Amino acid sequence: MLEALTAQALELMTRFGERTGETAQRAPLRYLWTDAFAVCNLLGLERATGDGRHRESALRLVDHVHHTLGRHRSDDVRTGWLSGLSEQEGEAHPTRGGLRIGKSLPERPPDERAEDRLEWDRDGQYFHYLTKWMHALDQVTRSTRQPIFNAWARELADVAHRAFTYAPPSGVGKRMHWKMSIDLSRPLVASMGHHDPLDGFVTYAQLDATARGMGAAASGPDLKYATADFAAMMEPGALATADPLGLGGLLVDAFRVEQLIEEGAVAKGDPLLGALLDAALVGLHQYLQEPDLRSPAHRRLAFRELGLAIGLAAVGFMDRNARQAPEWFADDPNLGGRLASLMRYAPVRREIEAFWIQPEHRRSDTWLEHEDINDVMLATSLAPEGFLLIQPIAG
């Protein structure tokens, strides 16, 4: 019999598949962030249940994302693959032109003035969405032992690095654009995302680790130069945020760094892990002073809170690892103290889940407006193994 939380996650993922055209005969609705989490969830459900149909669903979803978000919109005068490759070449390299966000409105034309609120609903490419998809593709390779998915992730990583990073005229180190046009030819939002260099560094290190572990079977661009670029752009002392989704991202990246240290992809003793835990502690203290988690459902954004819940699930895995292998922290005892401090916030995860699992709260306008992403991220928090655990390359 399925564990209760896994069963709830399976129910949420089943509804998501039917609603978005993955398992029902209806027009497909693809959104890159949501679909990245969904692929990971399906891989996790396959391991939890032993039902190979979940892995098949994950592979089918990957194909649908590439054939939808890797191509121009149906309301665009441009057609074909975003990369401009021929149909045959595009099939072989579906990520080489990047992937659209999947927003409802077309991207802002070059001659139109930017409007901050409207830009949220316009299509384009986000770096932090692309890194989520790279992670999902890499998890598919580690789950199926098929190197092609890692190769596609590395091709996406290569084009994203070249498109989103730039050297300012001042010459003061490289920077990043937050949002690019669909064809990656121009920035739509020129400012740099707070955690984009961090996401780039951790994700690219993971992709390289997988490629090395797969040996000659893996292919794709060398990401060492790009990874070094992101490392140079990071400011470890300035990562703190009181945004719940950003906080969750810090904690997820901390756990990924820990796993990459264990694989030898990040040097043991790298100060980044401690910096991430410190930043999360500062942000959690600030966020929990706010009234958000005490507000009624119609004044809350579930997917942002659930991002924090997923991050707190990552803290739980780190705590389990620390208890099973206490010698891991021997070189830096401060890591154990930081982790113990973070574990005091662990109950917040279940509080968030318990609130949003209640049917009456999922009938609020704020839930229904973002139903797909809310369902998928709630499923991730309830059964986080598929998203959080980087599968071993061997075995």
Say what the pLDDT of residue 331 is.
Answer: 67
Say what the pLDDT of residue 29 is.
Answer: 87
- Give the residue among 273, 307, 283 at the shortest CA–CA distance from 384: 307
Say what the pLDDT of residue 172 is.
Answer: 78
Q: Tens digits of per-residue pLDDT, 76-89?
A: 999 999 999 999 99
Is the pLDDT at 323 greater than 90? The verdict is no
Position 24 confidence tier, pLDDT thresholds 50, 70, 90: low
Find the mean pLDDT for residues 270-285: 95
DSSP codes joined into one string, 131-187: HHHHHHHHHHHHHH--THHHHHHHHHHHHHHHHHEE--TT-SS-EE-SEE-TTSSSE
Is the pLDDT at 221 greater than 60? The verdict is yes
Position 216 confidence tier, pLDDT thresholds 50, 70, 90: low
Position 1 confidence tier, pLDDT thresholds 50, 70, 90: very low
pTM of the entire predicted model: 0.96
Is the pLDDT at 217 greater than 60? The verdict is no
Position 330 confidence tier, pLDDT thresholds 50, 70, 90: low
Is the pLDDT at 19 greater than 60? The verdict is yes
Q: How far is CA 191 from the centre of its chain?
A: 20
